[in-house]
Amino acid sequence: MLGDVRRLADDLLTRYERIDVLANNAGGLVKRRALTVDGYERTIQSNHLAPFLLTTLLLTRLRENAAAAPVRIIATASAANLFGRIRPDDLDSRNRAFFGGWPAYCSAKLANIVFTRELARQTAGSGIEAFAFHPGFVASSFAADTALMKAASVLGNGHLGSSPEAGAAPLVHLASVDDVGSPSGTYFDGFRPNGRESKQAADQRLAAQLWSASTRAVR
């Protein structure tokens, strides 16, 4: 629920005068189309709209904090962005085939990258840095109930993918290293900057449209 996100933002602002790192790591894939109580498709809400709302609710405080010392905002994206397509007039994928949730997931992960890039543009010179990263294929319960992941598990004899600790390592690195060594807005594939992206990831006009559509959605 977006109301939960608003309550979280209020709690953070009340409890902490300073926020050094905001890591938007929550998300997932759902294989059947359904709407949340807020009226949005579950994948786009959990993967994009919720972190968008949390980030924008905290942004004034983050700007204030960044005036004294750098602040970082990090999004967990995915190489799946390569297969995504953002339509600002159809964030819910209502007019597209759902195919077990994979197209919606890929588009949401692309939205993470596009949002990160627009956030970097809007906060340039403020002391805020924004990055997105792909954690790699991690052996976890992600999409475990989908046919694709069931097949992958069988082929890998249950051992396909890296450990959760290895998947988290790029996030820990981006959150803690003194100098990332790449400009704000960079998308990393693991520890490697400039990971492979959909062509839409570099579309500045689309980024502005996504920001506007997301703002309207979370009002």
* 3 state SS of 79: helix
Is 40 a known active-site residue? no
Q: Which of 23-32, 69-78, 102-111 has the weakest average pLDDT?
A: 23-32
Catalytic residue among 16, 40, 105, 187: 105
What pTM value is reported for the model?
0.90
The whole-number average pLDDT for the span 116-133 is 98
Fold entry, domain 2-217: Rossmann fold (3.40.50)
Percent of the chain at pLDDT > 90 equals: 78
Domains of the chain, residue spans: 2-217
The whole-number average pLDDT for the span 8-35 is 94
Q: How far is Cα 160 from Cα 187, in angstroms, rounded to an integer?
A: 24
- Contact between 27 and 101 under an 8 Å Cβ cutoff? The reply is no
**What pLDDT was estimated at residue 109?**
97
Q: What residue type is 32 in one-letter code?
A: R
Position 210 confidence tier, pLDDT thresholds 50, 70, 90: very high
Count of H-run helices and E-run strands, the chain = 7, 5
Measured between alpha carbons, how far apart are the two ends of the chain, in Å? 13
Q: How far is Cα 210 from Cα 27, in angstroms, rounded to an integer?
A: 18
What does each C-alpha distance from 113 to 126, 132, 134, 162, 217 come to in angstroms? 20, 6, 10, 22, 18
Percent of the chain at pLDDT > 70 equals: 89
